[in-house]
Chain A
Amino acid sequence: MKKSILLTALLGILVAGCSSTELQESQPLNPPQPELQSMQADDNEGTAFTSPDLNLLELRGNPLLAKDKRGIYFDFNKFVVKQEYMEIIQAHAKYLNETPPANMKIQGYTDYRGSHEYNLSLGQKRAVAVKEALNSFGVDDSQIETVSYGKEYANLDCVEQNACGEDRRADIVYTVE
């Protein structure tokens, strides 16, 4: 009996000792949506297609420069440009060398396995490999920007579909088009 009185007294002290805390109103997490910059803000589309300096006739007329041939594909975990693409790359080098105002972006891609950032670096390695092939034909770095999309557009089912090779590539993109 004595013990339970003691216990009750102890509980009383504990309960009396606790504070009543007013919760802060949580921060409104609905900030105004920031305006995204226009995707093509840096392209001067208005003049590009009429400018004679860009030699668009060659870009569109030469079958080696055709849009459906601007994907350079790589083997698994490989970053070496295969010999079969050299003719195409040489044609792009010739176009860039003859068209100083033209700018090219090379976009690297990978399959989905691994982390986003490491794949971004692997895609970059593929883009750099294509750039170096262009360099070997005399193209200056100032006309090329190598970037990577890594695994961002990779097919999550490529293993099941035996299609991961599609994701291991670098795409040639002209900023005027």
Chain B
Amino acid sequence: MNKFLQIIFAGFIFFSSSVLHALEVIEILGGKASQIPIAVMPFKSFGAQKAIGKINSVIKSDLSRSGLFYALDTRGVVAAPNSDKEVNFSQWKSLEAQFLIIGRIDFLKKEKVKVSWSLIDVYKKQTVLSGEYVGKEKQIRAIGHKVSDKVYERLTGSKGVFHTKIAFVEKYNNQKYKLNIADYDGYNITSLLDSKMPIISPKWSPDGKKIAYVSFEKEKPVIYIQEIATGKRKLLANFKGNNSAPAWSPDGKRLAIVLTYNTNSQIYLINADGSDVKRLIRSRSITTEPSWSPDGKEIYYTSNQGGGPQIYKFNLESSEVSRVTFEGKYNLYPSLSYDGKLLIYLTQDQGKFKVALQNLQSNQVLKLTKGPLDEAPVFAPNGHMVLFVYKDYGKTTKIGTVSINGLKIDPLPLGSRQVQEPAWGPIKN
């Protein structure tokens, strides 16, 4: 990647970070290196199963997936420290580690473990953050994600998303479909719905408790809302024609949906309890894929009013429509970062389908992926990563993440599963 692009990428991150209190952020972005070199040592376990000492690989993979960190290879490092006092700073400096994470795991009663960890600034020779977590042994990945979140927030000024959940659709030969929920990195998959008919467009409610989705089980698309904890669901929209593309308003009270009756796709608003359906945009063309701005004042959507699909926005107060994408002939599937400053969508570029990132202040567009058949990009709730679908060399579609600085594309470890239609859940406190 050339220098120019790096600067633009840095600009993107700068704009999308809301909490820029930490001076480190500016140093990192303005500096020569665009990724923070960090060494994550194996945590030594005392009395606990040896396997859970691999918590460091969870932290390592979290931080490098974000694209903002470069996890150093620590194999062969002798004299691995287990506590801050044992750190030999000159050793770590020669490894070019700017930061170091160390820790230990102590086995407690009742299958519980205590994880103690520290984040050490090698240059300043001081511990910048440390903590302890107690949890069940089987929660070791969750504990690792919590450590990653803390480290991420301290060093980038933005909240980490390593404890969040995603949803996606798994498909078996056009005959069986599952709506799955998993950790953001693809682990701990559970199934929320099984169906013989396609499922598309899962969307998390802003509180993370429900998922709206489109199911074809009535031999046409209809919209359900399902509670994650109980599995209870209700039909939100089953009007004549298609019912699709649900999008929760930021307050969770309404959804924008797409209905057709016997005409082209048009965007409507409906209350989350199914009441008060009203048409939002009146158009002779297709209007679909609504996506709310975080302030709830605008809806971005796809329309073919100019021929090919382009992204437009509709202002709910003034009813004014304006076009948002101008580069290329095929842009669709918009969604916004949590701060409303960045737009992600699918673009066709020289015959290839790629994930595009547009800075809504400068309108600069970057292609984050190379294609050829990428799809369905959605932002992480902190805006620093994007989940997207790509077609692999076999016949299946896969899900991966790309960091918005474009430096890290990482598949989710979902094996041979055919997966599509990802959705990223909110940050829960």
Name A residues whose Cβ lies closer than 8 Å to a Cβ of B.
7-8, 10-11, 14-15, 18-23, 25-34, 36-37, 39, 41-42, 105, 107, 113-118, 120-122, 124-125, 128, 131, 141, 144-149, 152-153, 156-157
Is residue B262 contacting chain A, with contact meaning CB distance below 8 A? yes
Is residue B395 contacting chain A, with contact meaning CB distance below 8 A? yes
Given contacts A113-B373, A114-B353, contact A27 B228 (CB under 8 A): yes
- Give the distance in Å from the alpha carbon of A39 to the alpha carbon of B289 in the complex: 27
- Give the distance in Å from the alpha carbon of A8 to the alpha carbon of B123 in the complex: 16
Most buried by B among A19, A107, A122, A153: A122
Number of A-B contacts (CB under 8 A): 180
Cβ-defined contact, B228 with A31, below 8 A: yes
Shortest beta-carbon distance from A161 to chain B in Å? 11
Number of chain B residues close to chain A: CB under 8 A? 77
Cβ-defined contact, A115 with B333, below 8 A: yes
Cβ-defined contact, A120 with B288, below 8 A: yes
- Give the distance in Å from the alpha carbon of A32 to the alpha carbon of B240 in the complex: 30
Which of B192, B195, B260 touches A36 (beta carbons < 8 Å)? Answer: B195
Chain B residues positioned under 8 Å from A121 (CB to CB): 258, 264-265, 286, 288
Shortest beta-carbon distance from B180 to chain A in Å? 10
Chain B residues positioned under 8 Å from A14 (CB to CB): 127, 129-130
Which of A41, A117, A147, A153 touches B288 (beta carbons < 8 Å)? Answer: A117
Which of B181, B289, B332 touches A29 (beta carbons < 8 Å)? Answer: B181
Chain B residues positioned under 8 Å from A18 (CB to CB): 129-132
Closest 9 CB pairs of A and B: A31-B231, A23-B135, A29-B190, A147-B220, A121-B265, A152-B198, A121-B286, A115-B333, A20-B132
Chain B residues positioned under 8 Å from A30 (CB to CB): 190
Given contacts A23-B139, A128-B262, A149-B216, contact A116 B201 (CB under 8 A): yes
Is residue B426 contacting chain A, with contact meaning CB distance below 8 A? no
Shortest beta-carbon distance from B108 to chain A in Å? 11
A-B contact pairs, 18 of them (CB 8 A): A11-B126, A18-B132, A32-B231, A36-B217, A39-B218, A41-B218, A105-B219, A114-B332, A114-B346, A116-B200, A120-B245, A120-B288, A121-B258, A145-B240, A146-B260, A147-B241, A148-B242, A156-B397
